[in-house]
Amino acid sequence: MLGPGAQQQFTAQPKDQYGQPIAAFTGGWRADGGMISTTGLYTAPPAFGGPYTVHTGNTFLPGTATVTMPAPAVLTTITLSPAMVTLGLSGTQQFTASPKDQYGNAIAASLTWTATGGTVTSGGLYTAPAAAGTFTVTASSGAVSGSVGVTVTSALTIVTTSLANGAVGVPYSQTITATGGSGRLFGMGVYSGTPPPGLTSAPAGAMSATFSGTPTTAGTYTFTVRAIDTSLQLAYRQFTMTIAPTSLLVVTTTSLANAPTGLSCSRTITASGGSGTGYTWSLDSGTLPTGLTLASSGTPSTTLSGIPTTLGTYTFAVRVTDSASNTATRSYTLTVTSPLAITTSSDLLSVPIGEWCSRTINASGGSAVGYAWSLVSGTLPPGLTMPATGTPGMMITGVPTMEGVYVFTVRVTDSLGYTATREFTMTVKPSKTVTSGAAAE
């Protein structure tokens, strides 16, 4: 690599077919750009260009060398880092600039920093304005520049201003929400003070947290919640809430088990708290399964009973009112299923003696959970065993050891005590044998 008019002495070293230098050398020097003497002294052209090739030797023994004359390095690009930034109001960010030449190499450059909003120092330290918006930070040197976008967000604010009171022993859940900032929280939780024992916060979305649990101690509590977003903005909100020493009236039954169609059903719904006396019950919304009715009175419980007649999933809410006219409601979903039944065919297929056997027996309907299995009558083939549980089915496995036809009855019982039985037949066949021999001569 040479500059304009620079010189370079070239030498030629002939070698034989074994790669060994030899003394003989015939032929002259020539160049397709610039000049070269008969002794190999090359003089580059007076301007940048090329590449050029220097030749020596002859037709039978040529040799070449390449001369490059690249243009001088000039500033071509300026890249800023980081490439994109989100800041809060009046937030700061240190930017760095990387000037490079046309060959991608770092090059020294005198930079001028500017910003369309906010301020930036001669060293690239940017300070956002006190108003939200989208701005550009630029580093330039002459006609070459590099820019990055800066998003300045509004102030992070916790917009939930109060939390509902609670009661000892009653499940509690409230959502605390923030807005502004970067639009995504890094975290939110109690910063100072003492929240009610039994309650904790947990993330509940990009800009909210859930304050939940079951209070354990009555009293009035004051505490401060802090939110921090991904741009490190902070927001605070103080809350005061009271936990009542006695529980509010509440329906404590949280769910109702499935009910098989055509079979007697009884489900208990219980409440607690309030005056503790004179509970009356009513359907608050939705529709009860066809065939079921809700008892109108009962302390602390009512009964949903009858014989459901129509398959389906029913959603409804039950209201309880105590003697002091306090009320509470709870929603339920009750699924009316098919009656419990063993669905596997009675013929469990035959199996050869001495071979591994695996036969599945399935059931469906009833509560659809907690199936228990038992042998009601008959005998399993010797060597086979049956597990006691399995939903929706169980597997009879083992290696049968005795031929024969075995008839037995299996019972399944679901989690509600409903039962179904089915008789099965399994045949244990003789094992397959292979005989071999040779004919006598």
Per-position DSSP letters for 355-421, written without gaps between them: S-EEEEEEEE-TTSS--EEEEEEE-PPTTEE--SB-SSEEEEEE---S-EEEEEEEEEE-TTS-EEE
What is the band of 50 on the pLDDT scale with cuts at 50, 70, 90?
confident
Average pLDDT, the chain: 89
User: What is the location of CATH 2.60.40.10 in the chain?
Assistant: 75-152, 157-244, 250-337, 341-429
Least Cα distance to 146 among 90, 85, 95, 93 occurs for 95
pLDDT of residue 437: 42
Topology of the domain covering 75-152: Immunoglobulin-like (2.60.40)
Topology of the domain covering 157-244: Immunoglobulin-like (2.60.40)
What mean pLDDT do residues 87-102 have?
90
pLDDT of residue 24: 59
CATH code for the domain defined by 341-429: 2.60.40.10
**Tokens 């700061």 belong to which residue?**
92
pLDDT of residue 356: 93
Tokens of 189: 């939780």
49-57 and 28-31 beta bridge pairing: antiparallel
Q: Nearest-5° angle of CA 427, CA 432, CA 437?
A: 155
In CATH terms, 250-337 corresponds, of 2.60.40.10, 2.40.10.10, 1.10.1040.10, 2.60.40.150, to 2.60.40.10
199-203 and 185-193 beta bridge pairing: unpaired
Instruction: Tell me, rounded to whole angstroms, the distance of Cα 231 from its chain centroid.
Output: 22
How many other C-beta atoms lie within 10 A of the C-beta of residue 68?
12
Is the pLDDT score of 245 beyond 60? yes
The pLDDT tens digits for 201-228 are: 998 888 999 999 988 888 999 999 999 9
